[in-house]
Amino acid sequence: MQFKFLFFSLLTLILMGQGCTSIRVVKPLPKGDMNIGLNAGGPLIEFGGTPIFVPLSAFYTAYGVSDKFTLTGGLHTTSLAFKNLQLDAGLLYGVRDSEGWIPGLSLSAMANFTYGFSEGESRLGPQADFHLFWESGEKSLVYAGSSFYMDLYPNASQPAHRFKSIWPTINLGYNRGNEKWNFGIEYKILAPGRDNRDGVIDFIEILPGMTSGLYFNVSRKL
């Protein structure tokens, strides 16, 4: 019962924009390529005195519209288990490829939609990302960047002081793959500057106001 209450409280905070998924695509897919994948991970917390990461999960797909643009979409399975339908759709644009030590750059925009079956309430939140990336051959990619989630709170029942809150994250990750499979690990700093010490959940912070998150990603080219 204690775990269920803690997990539900954490999920509520995540849906409010704290960051519940890894960066799925950093570099645009080649035109016509399509990937399906699974990502899992979440904030690092202490539960019963033990550090753990919360296994929030989602299935997703990505499609290369052109060599510069990639469409993405996802279904968040952990949210679904707690009677919340959470979907996302996004578009990534590759500004430039990496050349040696000069990083590549990509920009993306995403819409996140959540509907709670129990309360009958919905929430829509846009998100914007930018990432620098460095490639080592065709198999390895290191990236760093940031995401900005805006919680619009379309329902009048939501607290007025939370309207149009913007939650940033700092993302650091590594991807490695081959012609068919790609594996990734990502570390996030969630909502830097926000004080989570007085909440129900005991977040692990590397510094005050810097909550950590750990995420894993696997995808396959179709």
User: In order along the chain (222 residues), what is the average pLDDT of each group of 10 residues?
Assistant: 48 51 92 96 78 83 97 92 89 96 96 86 88 91 93 53 68 94 93 62 70 91 95
Task: Choose among 53, 38, 50: nearest CA to 188.
Answer: 53
Structural fold of domain 2-221: Lipocalin (2.40.128)
CA-to-CA distance for 107 and 105, rounded, in angstroms?
A: 7
User: Do the beta carbons of residue 59 and residue 87 sit within 8 Å?
Assistant: no
CA-to-CA distance for 111 and 174, rounded, in angstroms?
A: 24
Helix (H, G, I), strand (E, B) or coil at 160: helix
The whole-model pTM stands at 0.84
In this prediction, residue 159 carries a pLDDT of 47
In this prediction, residue 106 carries a pLDDT of 98
Angle, CA 20 vertex, CA 155 and CA 171 arms, to 5° = 125
In this prediction, residue 153 carries a pLDDT of 65
In this prediction, residue 196 carries a pLDDT of 58
In this prediction, residue 201 carries a pLDDT of 65
In this prediction, residue 127 carries a pLDDT of 92
First to last CA, the chain: 41
What does the radius of gyration of the chain's CA atoms come to, in whole angstroms?
A: 17
7: which DSSP letter? H
